[in-house]
């Protein structure tokens, strides 16, 4: 009877989902949900109004806004050129990662992590010293275990101007062969509101 809309899985209710609550709290800390949170509820009236005036200037919403309406970044008919429909092919995209155009990025809503393969990481000219240690191994569909070299936060831009969004993603860097440069899993898709 219990169903979580966040995980699209039976076992617990959405209201009881700890991962969703943690994700929301993280987004609040990063400032992505400021318009939905009144942190100054208990603050004196004068201070509250001053902060409201300053808030929009500090960090504007990463999504494009025109005339008060939010533009949607989506696939158009042009994106289906050469694709026979219906299909069950993987969705492979090109994104800007740290101002580099990175092709062959698999979008995988079944992945619980955002992965960057070492061959692509090396081409970003980022020192391995900047990787944060990661102790938890990754377990693949067939049960194979991969130990990440570390994690790193990178700027990712999806879309093209004027319809684009920029987010800061945490990638696990792994040294295994892959036809892809990266995998964008649920964490990255959620950050991009995809």
pLDDT digits (tens, 9 = 90+) for 10-59: 777 888 877 788 778 777 777 777 777 765 554 444 444 444 444 443 33
What are the structural domains, with CATH classification, of the chain?
1-38 (no CATH), 87-192 (2.40.70.10)
Place of tokens 């959620």: 190
Q: Closest Cα to residue 169, out of 34, 55, 62?
A: 62
Concatenated DSSP letters of 9-61: EESS-GGG-HHHHHHHHHHHHTTTTGGG--TTTTS-HHHHHHHHHHHHHHS--
Task: Give how far the C-alpha of residue 131 lies from the chain's centroid of Cα atoms, to the nearest Å.
Answer: 19
182 vs 140 pLDDT, higher one:
182
What pLDDT, in 10s, does the model give residues 101-139? 999 999 998 899 999 999 999 999 898 999 999 999 998
For the cut 80, the answer to whether the pLDDT of residue 149 exceeds it is: yes
What average pLDDT does this structure show over 77-93? Answer: 80
pTM: 0.60
């Amino acid at each position: 009877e219990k169903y979580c809309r966040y995980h699209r899985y039976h076992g617990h209710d959405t209201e009881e989902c700890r991962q969703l609550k943690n994700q929301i709290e993280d987004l609040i800390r990063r400032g992505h949900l400021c318009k939905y949170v009144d942190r100054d509820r208990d603050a004196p009236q004068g201070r509250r109004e001053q902060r409201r005036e300053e808030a929009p200037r500090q960090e504007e919403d990463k999504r494009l806004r025109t005339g008060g309406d939010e533009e949607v970044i989506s696939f158009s008919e042009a994106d289906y050129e050469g694709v026979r429909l219906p299909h069950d092919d993987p969705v492979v995209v090109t994104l800007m990662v740290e101002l580099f155009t990175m092709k062959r990025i698999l979008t995988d809503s079944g992945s619980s992590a955002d992965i960057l393969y070492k061959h692509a990481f090396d081409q970003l000219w980022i020192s391995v010293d900047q990787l944060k240690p990661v102790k938890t191994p990754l377990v693949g569909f067939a049960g194979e275990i991969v130990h990440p070299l570390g994690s790193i936060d990178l700027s990712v831009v999806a879309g093209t101007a004027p319809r684009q969004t920029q987010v800061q993603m945490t990638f696990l860097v792994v040294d295994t062969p892959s036809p892809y440069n990266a995998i964008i899993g649920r964490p990255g898709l959620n950050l991009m509101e995809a």
